[in-house]
Amino acid sequence: MTAVPLRDRLIGGVIGTLVGDALGVPVEFTARSARDADPVQGMRGHGTWNQPAGTWSDDSSMTLVAAAVLALNGWDLPGMMDGFLRWLDAGEWTAHGAVFDIGNRTRNSIMLYRIDRDWTACGGDDEGDNGNGSLMRCMPVSCWLFGNGLAGQLEAAGQASALTHAHLRSRLCCAWHALWCDAVLSGRDVRTATRTANDLLRRHVPASELPCLARILDGSILDVARSAVLSDGYVVSTLQASLWCLAQQRDYPATVLAAVNLGGDADTTAAVAGGMAGLRYGASAIPEAWIAARARRDDVLALAGRFADACLDHWAACGARAERMARAAAPTACSGRR
């Protein structure tokens, strides 16, 4: 199989998130039985949130904020939190100027940040704070951390999660995502990347968290029956469902539609699965009609391109595994740290 260029993968990670989100928004919270009776096969309008076709939600807005901050400032977690605040208060990087969908934990964290600007203490760390709100936006962070080394990826992905979701389980899920993305950016396929991420993360998971993450860490989630895949708003469910869709399907459209048609938290499951599939198969594998149907098509494509270029420059400046980049047919010139 021809290698997917790194720039195409990076753009695919961002655009794939948005397309999955937009496919899922009209059917968020619907039952799986409803999707079985009336499966989503393309962009729809209205439905759950009565939004026009191609409208993305909080998952994508926060992903775009993260991508924009990384592209402009580099690693800047307080800057990312400032961006989340502008999204909530002023509608920055929304599809049509208004926030219509936000998780409780995310809202509470941003409101705490608004009061004292302490980005280190606003994330919820109770066990009940393990919704999928940090996993859904972590694709740009995971890409940025490529080649950063296991210890650095664990710490940084966890810190980025903790802006809103600080419990160890959410931080581990975001760290797993970063390790999986690192493996995919290195040219590995879905199953090999999963084994790689599992082998790296397993020994860093305390015994208390092992039962919750077992079906990911032992790889068994890849081949369970569809009836055993949950698609609710729990961070572990979303990561498991995304992995199952990726393992069971062979291209971007089939992966993201499988995610949407699990029902439940359809937009977030499809956003996470769509981002991972976009990174795996590249932006060029996403149907053009779905890209064209999204709100603010040109703005988003321009940002995704800026983010991809910033990542490539950042990796080169950091000396990120030049042999990996060469193997993946990426530019190797060092053009300065951002």
Shortest distance (Å) from residue 100 CB to Mg ion: 9
> Considering only 54-62, 69-77, 85-93, 151-159, which stretch makes contact with Mg ion by CB under 5 A?
54-62
Helix (H) or strand (E) holding 248: helix 235-248
Report residue 27 as tokens. 């059917």
> Considering only 52-60, 90-98, 187-195, 231-239, which stretch makes contact with Mg ion by CB under 5 A?
52-60
Shortest distance (Å) from residue 178 CB to Mg ion: 21
Work out whether 101 is an interface residue with Mg ion (CB under 5 A). yes
The nearer residue to Mg ion, 60 or 198, going by C-beta atoms, is 60
The nearer residue to Mg ion, 59 or 129, going by C-beta atoms, is 59
* Residue 276 to residue 240: CA distance in whole angstroms: 12
Shortest distance (Å) from residue 103 CB to Mg ion: 8
User: For residue 219, which of 176, 264, 278, 276 has the smallest C-alpha distance?
Assistant: 176
> Considering only 59-67, 151-159, 173-181, 203-211, which stretch makes contact with Mg ion by CB under 5 A?
59-67
* Residue 161 to residue 60: CA distance in whole angstroms: 15
Work out whether 255 is an interface residue with Mg ion (CB under 5 A). no
Count of residues in contact with Mg ion, rule CB under 5 A: 5
Cβ neighbours, 10 Å, residue 116: 9
Work out whether 134 is an interface residue with Mg ion (CB under 5 A). no
Candidate list 59, 129, 182, 313; residue touching Mg ion; CB under 5 A: 59
Work out whether 57 is an interface residue with Mg ion (CB under 5 A). yes
The nearer residue to Mg ion, 194 or 238, going by C-beta atoms, is 238
User: For residue 171, which of 205, 194, 140 has the smallest C-alpha distance?
Assistant: 205
Work out whether 267 is an interface residue with Mg ion (CB under 5 A). yes
Can you list the pairs that 215-224 forms with residues at least 24 positions away whose Cβ atoms lie under 8 Å? 215/240, 216/176, 216/240, 216/243, 219/191, 219/194, 219/195, 221/247, 222/191, 222/194, 222/247, 222/248, 223/247
Q: Reduced to 3 states, what is the DSSP secondary structure of residue 332? A: coil
Report residue 205 as tokens. 């998971």
> Considering only 45-53, 99-107, 121-129, 179-187, which stretch makes contact with Mg ion by CB under 5 A?
99-107
Positive or negative CA dihedral for 152, 72, 143, 319? negative
Work out whether 58 is an interface residue with Mg ion (CB under 5 A). yes
The nearer residue to Mg ion, 94 or 255, going by C-beta atoms, is 94
Binding residues (CB under 5 A) for Mg ion: these are 57-59, 101, 267
